[in-house]
Structure 1
Amino acid sequence: MIQTRFLSGQGLGNQLWTYAAARGIAEHLGRPHVVTGRDVFKGAEFLDIDFGEDPEPDAPVARFNEALFYDPELKYFSSGYDIRTEHLPPRVQLDGLFQSERYFHGREMELKHWIRPKAEVLSAAERYRDVCVLNLRGGEYKRHKALILPRSYWDMAVDVLRREAGATEILVVTDDPGYARAFLPEFPVLEGGVAECYAALMGAKALAVSNSSFSYFPIKTRSDRPFVVAPEHWARYGHPARRWAMPANLYRDWHWLSPAGELRSYEACRDAAEADAAWYEAEYSVRIPPSMGIGLPRSRFIPAGLKRPIKRAAARLFPTRIG
């Protein structure tokens, strides 16, 4: 049995990645797949997934932690494909990021059966067939400045969408409308909840995405292949190291935009991403428990009851800087 555990602190994109990757591993190993934490699943209102049923609910479950590498130069936890998942204990819970397509073991076409939008989402997606979407991420990204994509990325991405996809109607889809209106004031911002955002990504004619896991599944579970622009090196776009912050985040069929405005194919980026993954595997060797807090912000020590009202007030005053 392969088990996925949903956590309340995960975003929807992270939950779907851990679910789909574990499902792919379970299919590959010929085992049942079970999901716990369904009460915190953030797509429950508009997505159907299979939570499975444990055939031996009283039997012990081992823990498996995906290999992560803390890069002190990038100040980021990196991951690739953990080959140890091909040889797992009989009953095991998988913990980690699991954002590599290799975990699907060639079953990408099954994603649309593993993650099923409800009828109202599919109907809403049809409204966006002539729209090109900018999937801007704000919110907590503004606390991690290296994750925020510069205005230059979006300007170049819009030029690419106009040139390659004939974009005339452009819509910003975001988790942070206040930030979007201040940062990209010339474009309309989608007003709606997470389900409407998901529908827009499923239906859009073409897209420019941010370095967020949210965009992957609404795009990859479509029946077509839209034109997609994404930031080269993903979570460290424009960093002088020119390293894939997570080699796992290079995805097939997407086009990767460099800070110099060069548009690269998946094939053109693959060798560099694989070399970065091999470098992490060869050079990084020390493993530590998450409780040591390596790489985590000092703000985690501020009580939540104090931090939340301060953040809300500051975000209203400085929408492009504070989330």
Structure 2
Amino acid sequence: MLPSALIALFLAGSALSTDHWGFSAMIADRDAPSIAAIRYDAATREISNWRSQTVGTLEPKPVAMAAALLGADRPVVTRCVKLNNYWCIKSARWDGEIGKDSEGHVGFASADHGADAAVTLLRRYYLEFGRKSALDIVRRWAPAECGIATGIGGLAVLAVKGIGGTVRARYLASRRGKGVTTFTAKGRGGKPGRVSMVIPLKTPQYRVPDIAEGMGEKPKPVPKMEAAPRPKIRAAAAPMATASAPKPAVAACAPDEQRLRNYAERMVGDLDLGPNDDLKLFAADGTPLPNLTAVMAAMSSFELGMLRPGAALIEGAVQRAILRAEARKAAPSADPEL
């Protein structure tokens, strides 16, 4: 039933494309966009040509066509689709960057610009920053977004997200009312909003980990007590530290840590590698290796959900990266990517 519905949408989209959206003409001109004519709309957080880019570069085609025709939103279309940024890259004055949203995600003039930026960023991670494995890369590419501990009473204060997506929760009292903490969301003009809750919290004084040293209570002196000698236990050899070795995690970060591991597993899904193995993405001179294509496809599909980039988009970006690597070898003093 579902495939039939998608095919119907695709046929309907094909019929409408010439009369309503003019997709055929826009797709034909996709490889040579006029950047001056392309705009970023901050209100809707989208690039003006995202529909034609979606139809021309993303798969499966029926879903891409339907998404472009209907202006679909989540879960079919993530915000990065409407930014021509299929790897959800943050702003860094990339070639083809014409805007960015409130969280710094780039709006590219075309999907090709976004793919080129993804290759460049992966090369820098791999060669310049020494991030060789999938876990090493995703910990920097898509870092954990769990709340930061405030150290009040040794517990993190979590904001309550109010109606309409506005965060207006305020911490009103610390341990007021015998360990009862109140969170209140206020509406416009200071009037009470529709979200209010009272959460009873016990506030024992825990030691915070070293990563947040200085945010918790100072250790209290412990009186010396004589104790019977215990047998010595030989400690196991500590594993060699690596960039991807996780630090002691706060319990609130556990879901995000799992997300990162799922991301890394997706990256190596089509390769005979583990999430901590060298991905073998680039040679020492910056020339892309065969695994780069599979890793780029996996990363983008993880970011986009129901959509994924077509093979032509990724292969084009890889071929351009090969040409840039050859240009660097011919003129080492000039970097064609800068």
Q: TM-score range by the shorter chain?
A: under 0.3
From the two aligned structures, give the one with the greater strand fraction: 1
TM-score (norm 2): 0.23
Larger Rg: 2
